[in-house]
Amino acid sequence: MKFRAKIVDAACLNHFTRVSTMIAKLAKTCTLRISPEKLNFVLSDRVASGGVSMWCELEQENFFSEFQMEGISAENNAIYLDLTAENLSRALKTAQNARALKIKLTNKHFPCLTVSIELLSVSSSSRVVTHDIPVKVIPRKLWKDLQEPTIPDSDVSIYLPVLKTMKSIVEKMKNISNHLIMEANLSGELNLKIETELVCITTHFKDLGNPPPASEDASQERPPEQMAEVHVDIRKLLQFLAGQQVNPTRAVCRQLKGSHTFHRGAGRLSARPPWSGAQDGPGAHLTGTENYLVSNKIVHFDLLHEDVSLQYFIPALS
């Protein structure tokens, strides 16, 4: 297994730093998937993350001037690493005035992602900062949980308003209730609502626009004025919005009809969204698994930050 890559362009470096900072805000630990063409930051849902999952993808050639990797085998040419997202973000932030940044997979008593930064210096001498980020290599058998999600049909999909505006509204609502209702329709209207015994507050967004439907039938069936509603934990929504420092190039929100399958085995409960290829996960290896099928909705955020795509899934409150 080998990986080495280099960034020499300042703009690419800043963009990559911004991506890593965003990931650090969205997840404490996540999986970095390295393949010949792409880099992915993956958070597959676990009870620990409250059922939230994420798939972030970037094309490596948009960032790296040099990129070489060798997966664990020729057929499985990928590397999956678990790391603490904040470490990568912190390491990249020290590369403010870097001449060059190199990342490579190393083994210094334990596997590390070594980020080596050559700084521009006033004097003739060079200064080098090295960060050894400890990583855990994920074995091949667990890769199926970390594949790209397939998006099922959605009730409604809508373009989002400026995320900063949305965030400041949701932040204020958080003080009143943890339970947020998101309503959207095919006329470009989005409502954020909280209801308590004493008060009900709704913020209405209009003229947002809707992305073209996936299939012709879906659009004809549904009356455009009809609102589709989903209930989410406001803190999860806020964490997602807080991670977006810059307004994305494009932001779409979909309400998905999901089905969560809960596997219970050996006391571990895991909920699975419609991830492709995730039919049998770790839970299935254990004897005596019980399956509970719960039909539930999922809110899917599909963002594009220049050339980096981010998909974020928040399960609805049952």
- Binding mask 45-84 toward another protein (x if CB under 8 A, else -) reads ---------------------------------------x
- Give the nearest distance from C-beta 85 to another protein in angstroms: 12
Token pair 């204020």: residue = 172
Site string for another protein, 261-290 (x = CB under 8 A): ------------------------------
- Which residues touch 86 (CB under 8 Å, ≥6 apart)? 24, 28
Per CB under 8 A, 25 contacts another protein: no
Of 110 and 292, CB closest to another protein: 110
- Minimum CB separation of residue 90 from another protein in Å reads 7
- Per CB under 8 A, contacts with another protein among 132-191 are 132-134
**Taking the complex as a whole, how short is the minimal distance between the CB of residue 225 and another protein, in angstroms?**
51
Closest CA to 255 of 202, 206, 301, 194: 301
- Candidate segments 40-48, 105-113, 194-202, 286-294, binder of another protein by CB under 8 A: 105-113
124 binds another protein (CB under 8 A): yes
Contact 310, 163 (CB under 8 A): no
> Is the CB of 57 or the CB of 86 nearer to another protein?
86
Closest distance to another protein from the beta carbon of 7 (Å) = 17
Region from 131-139, 199-207, 255-263, 265-273 binding another protein, contact rule CB under 8 A: 131-139
Task: Please name the residues in contact with 100: beta carbons below 8 A apart, sequence gap of 6 or more.
Answer: 6, 7, 8, 117, 118
Query: How many of the chain's residues bind another protein (CB under 8 A)?
Result: 21
Nearer to another protein, 69 or 98 (CB): 98
* Residue span binding another protein (CB under 8 A) among the ranges 31-39, 123-131, 168-176, 251-259: 123-131
Out of 11, 123, 223, 290, the residue judged to bind another protein by CB under 8 A: 123
The nearest distance, CB 103 to another protein, in angstroms, is 14
Binding site for another protein (CB under 8 A): 84, 87, 90-91, 94, 108-110, 121, 123-134
